[in-house]
Amino acid sequence: MKNKNAPAPMLDAPIPGQGMTAPLGDRPWQRPAQFSTPEQALSFYISKITQDRQASQMMDILEMGVPVDTLVDTVQLGGVMEGLHSVDVGMIIAPALIEAISGMADKAGVKYTRESTDIDEEAPMGSEIALTLTKMREGKDMPKEAPVEEVVEEVTEEEPTGLMARRR
């Protein structure tokens, strides 16, 4: 008997156990981490994010509305995947990284969201802002301004009306 309420099977999902088919130690996170202590990992990240190019890229991302904690999560999980440090070390250094990036944004005068729960649902998303800016640049869908008519004020000179006034 067919269950109509059952969800449709996901045919593009990996086969169960596929993740364990690679030989042990083949993945970077299966090898010993490059930085074993939180101090080493933090100094690595701090030296990276304080570089001019990286810092400006990060500020751009924050200005687009990405919360600091989401950015830190992406950065530190990337480090785990590259085998730089363990997940535990990543969790330990995360608050310090959030503090560092927030401090940098404060000093740069960038408006940012600290936590992902602080997101204003009604505020336009970064992608929406970017799309609107692109449209503005291209001049599409924007109401064209009506040509401004020049108003020429006619200056009328009042004629003197007094008895002693001279007439032209």
Whether 102 and 112 have beta carbons less than 8 Å apart is answered as yes
Q: Which is nearer to other proteins, 78 or 160 (CB)?
A: 78
Contact residues: other proteins, CB under 8 A = 38-39, 42, 46, 69-70, 72-73, 76-77, 87, 90-100, 103-104, 107, 115-117
Q: What is the SS3 assignment for 121? A: coil
Q: Tell me the closest approach of the beta carbon of residue 139 to other proteins, in angstroms.
A: 39
Whether 127 and 78 have beta carbons less than 8 Å apart is answered as no
Q: Tell me the closest approach of the beta carbon of residue 110 to other proteins, in angstroms.
A: 14
Q: Which is nearer to other proteins, 94 or 129 (CB)?
A: 94
Q: Which is nearer to other proteins, 88 or 160 (CB)?
A: 88
Q: What is the DSSP letter of 31?
A: S
Whether 80 and 91 have beta carbons less than 8 Å apart is answered as no
Handedness of CA 56, 37, 34, 40 (dihedral sign): positive
Q: Tell me the closest approach of the beta carbon of residue 19 to other proteins, in angstroms.
A: 16
Q: Tell me the closest approach of the beta carbon of residue 93 to other proteins, in angstroms.
A: 6
Task: Report in angstroms the alpha-carbon separations of 51 from 42, 48, 63, 133.
Answer: 15, 6, 18, 29
Residue of 99, 111, 131 lying closest to 66 (CA atoms): 111
Whether 25 and 31 have beta carbons less than 8 Å apart is answered as yes
Q: Which is nearer to other proteins, 82 or 115 (CB)?
A: 115
Q: Which is nearer to other proteins, 82 or 99 (CB)?
A: 99
